[in-house]
Amino acid sequence: MILDLAEWRMSIDSSFLPIISLLPFLGALVPGLMIRAGRTACATFTALPTFLALVMLLILAPGVMRGEVYTAEIAWLPQLGLSASFFLDGLGLLFAVMILGVGLLITLYARFYLSKDDPMGQFYTYLLLFQGAMLGIVLSDNILLLLVFWELTSLSSFLLIGYWKHLPEGRQGARMALAVTGAGGLAMIGGMLILGNIVGSYNLTDILAAGDQIKASDWYVPALILILLGAFTKSAQFPFHFWLPHAMAAPTPVSAYLHSATMVKAGVFLMARMWPALAGTEIWFYLVATVGLITMVLGAVIALFKDDLKALLAFSTVSHLGLLTMLLGFGTKAAAIAAVFHIINHLTFKAALFMTAGIVDHEAHTRDIKRLGGLARLMPVTATIGTVAALSMAGIPLFNGFISKEMMLEEASHTYWFQNPWIVPALATLGALFSVAYSLRFIFHVFGGPVRDDYPHHPHDPPFGMYAAPALLAVLVVVIGIAPFLAEPVVKMAANAVTGAETKPYLKIWHGINPALFMSVGAILGGAVLLALHRPLDRAWIAAPRPEAKVIFDGLVATVVRWTRGISEALHNGAISRYLAYFVTATVIVGFAAYQGGALGAPTREMLPVPIPVFFGWLLLIIATATVVILHRQRFLALVVIGVVGLMVSAGFVYLSAPDLALTQISVETVTIMLLLLALHFLPKETPAESTGLRIGSDAVVAVAAGLAVGLLAFAFMMRDFDSISAYHLANSYKGGGGTNVVNVILVDFRGYDTYGEIIVLGIAGLAIFALMEALLSGPAGARLRNSSYDLDRSRDRHPLMMVVVTRLMLPIAIMVGVYIFLRGHNQPGGGFVAGLVVSIALLMQYMASGFAWTTRRQKIKYHTLIGLGVLVAGLTGAGAWLAGRPFLTSAFGYVHLEPIEEFELATAALFDLGVFLCVLGAVMLMLYSLSRMARHAGETVNKEPMGYDPSRAVESLRKKAE
């Protein structure tokens, strides 16, 4: 067969995609370790996965430029329509390169920015996690996968924004960002699911191809609104813009990364990505363009009056994101081209500006513009970089921001808003005007003016490593600004992907004399005037009443919290009796409603006769239960009566031919009673009477209703024939599982996974009790225990001779019984669970006879280990099925004939059962161990001898005396 070389190439290339998106996550494991090798090593190893991913991406780039689309798919949960599928087209490539490229620069910058006290390993780990999540968003071909990554960016950005945990602003900003973007993400999940339902596929490529079908659907508007909520919150669009400035409490590298290139662009990316599917309708235009326009103007106006450098940049980012949103909202091809181009430009100048602000902060120890000025003479390199980037932000010719702003104004100039020809261009010009003003303010109030002598710290240019990254970006700003045609292929590639059609971007500096030029000139002049008037305007701004977003947000959150707390505290006030009352009542009501549904047929069975002994057993059960209710305040007495109930239940199991259950019930009963006795020893002997008559009455009603309901339900079922899975189990137990004890085969084979989970839970319960007791004993309760005396009414004969002798005699027999029950489990009543309990009881008896400490000292394996071993054995047995090419926990069995023993069966299920056995034994004994530690804490001494009084020692001593 001749290999199709091109196809082969393609598949190899496509297989890069999952690797690219995995690399940052894998890399995230490294910095935490490498920080031990030093900060530079740590930064290098952070850059490595980013760099590798970038290289792989660039290998794919030529193909994408030619218009190819690479896809790779790994089935994950096909039942849900969720697959780990990735695709790379022009838009994805543009964003991926931006994410990785700026990621590299940020890694370098952060290496110099972070101080020695900051945990750098953590920072780089968070950074890589965030990078991976962002990459995932832009590379996903499955919208469910995209949602997963979307939420991951919210989470990892939370970690990054809150990186300086010691600063309250950092924590609050992180929480606000998480709340806003997380809430938007939730809305988006709804929107995406609707979208997937309309199209019938969760694959992005399918959805993008089904634009007309989506726009025609009745569900288009809700889906659009929900998705836009996600995008607007993420991209800080009005009225969700308030979180972005508060996220500035993060270290500057984070701000530079999240708020120039990545996080906030995710919303823009999503709108661009969904452009073919959602854009082009009226509602899209009015929603997206209007919100974008408002955000652009509002952000620009606020930015002018911010004194904090980073706050200025944050609001400028809000404004520019609004610009991008507006352009995408226009829904025209030319606007999409402008948007793509501006994404690139904004990235270059904004990242450079953030880093510049970080350098200024780092050197002058302040970011307050009113305390700065004249830095151009003190730090010329930084000033040059900052000025170049800020001029681009202002949209001054020969810098790249000018060209895209010109294109934006051009698009705005012929946009009608509700038949109004001038409102959009006018507002766009106003936004541009303020943009010029704050950009110029950034230049003149920070770098311009005379050198001052009251900086908190005398500034000078930082080391090369710190300004290398912004300098590179500034060079890009100028290069694209002078020779825009260089960016043409990239813009064309991304714009083609956005619009899903062939575009012809034509980037040049001089567009001729057109409305955009006049608007631009007007904006620059107006901006200069505004800056000149800044001082009086600023005073007016400060004096004017403004809504404070954080106060509103905090108030909103507090209200919601109050409400939810009110509800949950009314339902769950910490008293378990109330939880139970609600739960039981609700269940009874729901059950009654189901009964009212009337689907219950007529009884198909006769009542069985009630033999006299059974009747008395039943009577005993009822009397015992009633006695428990009456006597429950005397705890020990109640426990004894509970024992009666347990024994009667096991007798019932025997009568109803369920020997397995009877066996289990008896052993569980024994172990529970013993553990309860031990626990009760340290508790008050009586329950105080606290309930009022009313509460007792209502509780009685609930209890009786629930009891009757359960009884009637059981009765209804037993009077009818119904299909259950039992028939299958009965038929297949021997054939498929190799055992005649159906209960055991169900446990270890049919429902082995359940059992596996259960033993893990049991093990966890044992460990949790141990941990709780550990915490309890080291706390105030432990101190109280030490000071209380429990041995006042206790026998001095702690380890009675008779008991010790008998338990010694019983131990081997009991263990023998345990082994027997274990071995026969597969075919006869028994099994690992019961065997574990039986052996526990045998050991418990030793504890009771010779004391806890004495026995523990003779024990070789720790109970923690036993639990672990149990889970491990069961898990390995299950995994062993993989070796045979079967699914997890498939059991195998065979029959072996060894002379002179009868033919017997070997089943892997027995090995699994061994795991169950070990885990049960370990968990039960660990619980006992934990409780017994209390006794030791209460001051019990350790005996050296197994029994309190050993007559043989007395005889020996007499003999010695005689000699």
Q: Which residues bind other proteins (CB under 8 A)?
A: 793-797, 800, 802-803, 806, 809-810, 948-950, 953-954, 956-957, 960-961
Contact 927, 848 (CB under 8 A): no
From the list 304, 299, 302, 383, the residue with the least C-alpha distance to 346 is 299
The crossing angle, in degrees rounded to 10, of helices 801-824 and 832-850 is 170
**Three-state DSSP state, 75:** strand
Q: Between 535 and 960, whose beta carbon lies closer to other proteins? A: 960
Q: Residue 737 Cβ, how far from other proteins at the closest point, in Å? A: 29
Q: Residue 962 Cβ, how far from other proteins at the closest point, in Å? A: 13
Q: Residue 806 Cβ, how far from other proteins at the closest point, in Å? A: 5
Q: Between 717 and 949, whose beta carbon lies closer to other proteins? A: 949
Q: Between 879 and 955, whose beta carbon lies closer to other proteins? A: 955
DSSP 203: B
The crossing angle, in degrees rounded to 10, of helices 90-113 and 39-66 is 160
What distance in Å separates the CA atoms of residue 290 and residue 328, rounded to the nearest whole number?
A: 11
| Amino acid making up residue 177 | A
Q: Between 754 and 956, whose beta carbon lies closer to other proteins? A: 956
Contact 154, 187 (CB under 8 A): no
Q: Residue 823 Cβ, how far from other proteins at the closest point, in Å? A: 18
Q: Between 485 and 949, whose beta carbon lies closer to other proteins? A: 949
Give how far Cα 40 sits from Cα of 84, 462, 494, Å.
35, 17, 35
Q: Between 692 and 952, whose beta carbon lies closer to other proteins? A: 952
DSSP 249: G
Residue matched to tokens 């989970």: 757
Q: Between 583 and 949, whose beta carbon lies closer to other proteins? A: 949
What distance in Å separates the CA atoms of residue 311 and residue 336, rounded to the nearest whole number?
A: 28
Q: Residue 938 Cβ, how far from other proteins at the closest point, in Å? A: 18
Q: Residue 743 Cβ, how far from other proteins at the closest point, in Å? A: 23
Residue matched to tokens 């009314």: 570
Q: Between 709 and 803, whose beta carbon lies closer to other proteins? A: 803
Q: Between 551 and 802, whose beta carbon lies closer to other proteins? A: 802
Contact 786, 939 (CB under 8 A): yes
Give how far Cα 289 sits from Cα of 299, 383, 583, 747, Å.
15, 35, 50, 61
Q: Between 857 and 961, whose beta carbon lies closer to other proteins? A: 961
Q: Residue 949 Cβ, how far from other proteins at the closest point, in Å? A: 4
DSSP 261: I
Q: Residue 673 Cβ, how far from other proteins at the closest point, in Å? A: 14
What distance in Å separates the CA atoms of residue 317 and residue 319, rounded to the nearest whole number?
A: 5
From the list 362, 391, 544, 543, the residue with the least C-alpha distance to 459 is 362
For residue 923, with 0-12 CB atoms within 10 Å meaning exposed, 13-18 middle and 19 or more buried, which class applies? buried
Q: What is the dihedral of CA 397, 399, 404, 410, to 10 degrees?
A: 0
**Three-state DSSP state, 72:** strand
From the list 348, 466, 349, 268, the residue with the least C-alpha distance to 98 is 348
Q: Between 715 and 949, whose beta carbon lies closer to other proteins? A: 949
Contact 888, 879 (CB under 8 A): yes
Q: Between 535 and 796, whose beta carbon lies closer to other proteins? A: 796
CA pseudo-torsion sign 90, 91, 92, 94: positive
Q: Residue 610 Cβ, how far from other proteins at the closest point, in Å? A: 23
- 541 CB contacts (<8 Å, ≥6 apart)? 305
For residue 796, with 0-12 CB atoms within 10 Å meaning exposed, 13-18 middle and 19 or more buried, which class applies? exposed
**Three-state DSSP state, 861:** coil
Q: Residue 611 Cβ, how far from other proteins at the closest point, in Å? A: 18
Q: Residue 807 Cβ, how far from other proteins at the closest point, in Å? A: 9
Q: Residue 704 Cβ, how far from other proteins at the closest point, in Å? A: 33
Q: Residue 953 Cβ, how far from other proteins at the closest point, in Å? A: 4
Q: Between 802 and 901, whose beta carbon lies closer to other proteins? A: 802
